[in-house]
Structure 1
Amino acid sequence: MNLEEARDDLAFMRALVSTTEDSQLTFGETYLACGLCYGGQMVMHGLQFLGWAPSEGQGALLIGFGPTAVFVALLIWILTRRRVAQAPTAVNRAVAAVFGSVGLANLVMILIFGLQAWRQQSLLIWLIYPCVVMVLQGMAWMVAASLRRKGWMGGVALGFFLTGVGMAFALQNLRAYVVIAGIGMLAFMAAPGGLMILQARRSART
């Protein structure tokens, strides 16, 4: 009886800390889409500074709101085309809850920073908001690294922290600010998303 209980406990612990291919693939696709959309937006802002992209009119409006529209469309497509067949593990639910909470916090911060920036007519206040977003993303990845016990996730968290600090130091230099933000989104959002997709597909083949 004790041996059977030990086996049951071991199976439970393995299920607790494991990740399902379905959930990892969905998360990776979502993160890759987000990184490419908003990293691409930073690239377009850089082209605006160089005079190679429109800074006013419909073109500028498209650069400002287009990435969000594309990301929302991709997110709906990702979530509706796949039905997760495997039940989420406790760690999956915890990680999803952390990133979901960060996303909700981002929406609340848009209201806080946006309202104050509008009242004070201050671009500086609004530019602080993405710095905080980077730090919150780093926090979420730090929690994921602790739960998953994967060192590369801790590296992603550190990358987000450094990106947020770098953007804060570049608040008075919009060109540097945009460059740092773009590199951060592509390196620590798009790249990890792509890595998770590859890992999930590799696990599905084995």
Structure 2
Amino acid sequence: MNANSARDDLAFMRALVAAGADSQKTFGEIYAAGGLCYGTQMLLHGGQALGLLSTSAAPSLVIGFGPTVVFLAILAWILGRQTPQVPSAVNRAIGAVFGAVGLANLAMVVIIGSVAWRLHSITVWLIYPCVVMVLQGMAWLVAFMLRRRSWMGVVALGWFLVGIGMAVAIQTIGAYIVVAGIGMVAFMLIPGLMMIRQARQAGG
């Protein structure tokens, strides 16, 4: 290995590290935005359950779809200002897992949603968010296994417990919403903010 080759390798490694920090920051921004949007949605649903907000069709529609519209707008803005990067192998693997979870969620919407519709059962439909939480936990468990960062393992465990807790509370809608809201804030918004902070520290 000559000096030029060593410098090239070093430059490549630095590029990977920088791209890793940028990728983590972008993912953190997206994840924190999701936690904020859907945590707010749970808060609004809680207001409806307590009788503080109207449960009529129009407000329910806004609460049901509004956070997703806002999140998609934020997602488009974040990705729109993204510059092309060379992600590390670990970042690619973690990104692939979370992407697979997203596709699995779509399949679960069709599976559970169709059964709930046929049986006219809201309880069956409420199983879907429980499954989403567990799938999030699975993705974070893979991230923990690849990164070996203890806080990622805590997030994975947290999502598993949130999914189980929601299932336990499934017949008490108020408690179900509270557990979901705690999960969104504790294991989505806060980890997202942590990743943004760590990426800034790595980049700085």
- Contact 2:16–2:87 (8 Å) recurs in 1: no
1:107 partnered with 2:106: yes
Per the alignment, residue 97 of structure 1 pairs with 96
Runs of 5+ unmatched residues, structure 2: 2-7
1:141 partnered with 2:140: yes
- Contact 2:39–2:181 (8 Å) recurs in 1: yes
Taking only aligned residues, the RMSD between alpha carbons, in angstroms, comes to: 2.4
- Contact 1:17–1:90 (8 Å) recurs in 2: no
Per the alignment, residue 169 of structure 1 pairs with 168
Per the alignment, residue 39 of structure 2 pairs with 39
Could you list the per-position Cα deviations for residues 148-185 of structure 1 after superposition, in whole angstroms to 9, with x for gaps in the alignment? 11010000000000000000100111110000000001
1:11 shift after superposition? 10
Per the alignment, residue 81 of structure 2 pairs with 81
1:119 shift after superposition? 0.4
CA distance change for structure 1 residues 14 and 135 in 2, over 3 Å: closer, same or farther? farther
Could you list the per-position Cα deviations for residues 95-127 of structure 1 after superposition, in whole angstroms to 9, with x for gaps in the alignment? 000000000000111011111100000011100
Structure 1 runs (4+) greater than 3 angstroms displaced: 8-19
1:53 shift after superposition? 1.2
Matched positions, count: 201
Instruction: Give 1:75's aligned amino acid.
Output: L
- What secondary structure, in the 3-state scheme, does the structure 1 residue paired with 2:53 have? coil
- What secondary structure, in the 3-state scheme, does the structure 2 residue paired with 1:54 have? coil
Per the alignment, residue 201 of structure 1 pairs with 200
The alignment's TM-score, normalised by the length of structure 2, stands at 0.91
- What secondary structure, in the 3-state scheme, does the structure 2 residue paired with 1:201 have? helix
1:57 shift after superposition? 3.0
Range with bigger deviation, 39-48 or 52-61: 52-61
- Contact 1:17–1:148 (8 Å) recurs in 2: no
- Contact 1:15–1:89 (8 Å) recurs in 2: no
Per the alignment, residue 116 of structure 1 pairs with 115
Runs of 5+ unmatched residues, structure 1: 2-7
- Give the Cα separation in 1 of the matches to 2:19 and 2:152: 14
Q: Percent identity?
A: 63
- Give the Cα separation in 1 of the matches to 2:49 and 2:69: 23
CA distance change for structure 1 residues 18 and 167 in 2, over 3 Å: closer, same or farther? farther
1:54 shift after superposition? 1.5
Range with bigger deviation, 49-58 or 35-44: 49-58
Per the alignment, residue 67 of structure 1 pairs with 67
- Give the Cα separation in 2 of the matches to 1:109 and 1:17: 36
Instruction: Give 1:103's aligned amino acid.
Output: G
- Give the Cα separation in 2 of the matches to 1:133 and 1:63: 19
Could you list the per-position Cα deviations for residues 61-83 of structure 1 after superposition, in whole angstroms to 9, with x for gaps in the alignment? 10111011111111111111121
Could you list the per-position Cα deviations for residues 28-84 of structure 1 after superposition, in whole angstroms to 9, with x for gaps in the alignment? 000001111111100001011121112113222101110111111111111111214
